[in-house]
Amino acid sequence: MRVVVVGAGLGGVAAAVGLHRLGHEVTLFERGAELREAGTGIVVMPNGIRALEALGLADGIRGHVMHGTHGGLRDWRGRPLLVTDLVQAQQEVETPAMVDRADLHRALRAPLPASVVRTATPVERLEPDPTGVTVISDGNPIARADAVIAADGIGSRLRDQLFPGHPGLRRTGRLDLRGMLARPAGLVTDLLVSQLVDRRSGAMFGLFPVGEDRLYWFTDSALRGTPPGADEARRQMLSLMADWHPLVPALIEATPPADIYVDPITRLAEPLPSFAAGRIALLGDAAHAMSPDLGQGASQAFEDAAALTRHLTGAEPADVAQRLLRYDAERRPRANRMMRAAYRQSRLTSQTGVAAWVRDALLRAVPSRLATRQLAALWNA
């Protein structure tokens, strides 16, 4: 069966590998000039690791599980609000992995033969008919497929084509600034695997280890007006967080400018009515773009890829539409629940004023054992 995958991000590459290993004739189209991922660190939750295992792609990620003793939420000065016992959580469920995004992408794409990949090929639209789908690039047909997997990212053109009445993306009013740097020699801190929140501004800072020698950090703060460039966003964040725990501004200041990325946080304004339309299925951010607050974006994309691979096992061209409906029935309820939960978490951590003061007081009252069970449940989502 001929399968086209549009978009070579993490989820698209994972799906292409899974479908290729089934014996389908797969073509992966990528608008960029090469297969690559830029960025910083990325968390893969245990459910995402299990999905990669189902695809035979988890070998390189097991060595990157997060280590620590305690995590949770802290205030802007580093004082505990909600303490979790990471050792206990790791004993109850599998442990998330924290990896370099570029390294992960490189490992996922390694099994793909060069003949499967076509770079510098933006897909502008799809033309479905009763017997297949024609793929159009620069106004010309470039492929004919029995099934198409649209994994063309958060700004998906193909999603807009399939659901022209959908409101599309919506900014959350938040700005994401993130970076990665070499771990300072001798650094010992209880802020690792923690998130700091500031009830005065609603801003957040998170810090996670990437392997033994690097650190990944991110900030989440209010966005007013036009999103600034990386340099300006960095200056603004250093000013905003000048009186936070001393490690916070120090790490932001020490991160090379080339290793800092900034994006306005966006999500789908509302869930899609379906992840499948005839012979076309949506995957990853194209299907369920969510805010990053639960760290589930990549893991949900890997679940999509594993589900598509499973549902298209043994499929013939005549089976495709029905198989993709089964994929939709499996994945859409779960991914949409995660999308809503991420938005609720964003609202919780970005509160200010009296509401944030009450939130902090309630968080301090939660026993560590209960907080640890809740963390384990999130990891095992």
Q: Which residues pair with 127 in a beta bridge?
A: 134
2-67+97-169+268-347: CATH topology? FAD/NAD(P)-binding domain (3.50.50)
Give buried/exposed letters for 289-303 (b at 16+ CB in 10 A, else e). bbbbbbbbbbbbbbb
Read off the pLDDT of residues 308-367 as tens digits, 9 standing for 90 and up: 999 999 999 999 999 999 999 999 999 999 999 999 989 999 999 999 999 999 988 888
Which stretches of 179-294 are DSSP H helices? 230-240, 247-254, 285-288
Residue 273 pLDDT > 90: yes
Domain 2-67+97-169+268-347 and domain 172-267+352-379, same fold? Reply is no
In the chain, where the domains are located: 2-67+97-169+268-347, 172-267+352-379
pTM (global) more than 0.85: yes
Task: Tell me which residue of 123, 156, 159, 152 sits closest to 140, measured CA to CA.
Answer: 123
Cα(261)–Cα(247) distance, rounded to whole angstroms? 19
Question: Which are the contacts of 112, defined by CB distance < 8 A and separation ≥ 6?
Answer: 13, 16, 17, 20, 28
Read off the pLDDT of residues 51-78 as tens digits, 9 standing for 90 and up: 999 999 998 787 776 666 566 789 999 9
Dihedral sign for Cα 20, 26, 29, 34, please.
Answer: positive
Cα(233)–Cα(191) distance, rounded to whole angstroms? 23
Task: Decide which of 325 and 212 is more confident.
Answer: 325
The class (CATH top level) of 172-267+352-379 is alpha beta
pLDDT reported for residue 89: 61
- On whether the CB atoms of residues 166 and 152 are closer than 8 A, the answer is no
Largest CA distance in the chain: 64
Distance of CA 19 to the CA centre of its chain: 21
- On whether the CB atoms of residues 315 and 323 are closer than 8 A, the answer is yes
pLDDT band at 185 (very low <50, low <70, confident <90, very high): confident
The CB-side HSE value for 230 (13 A sphere, CA atoms) comes to: 14
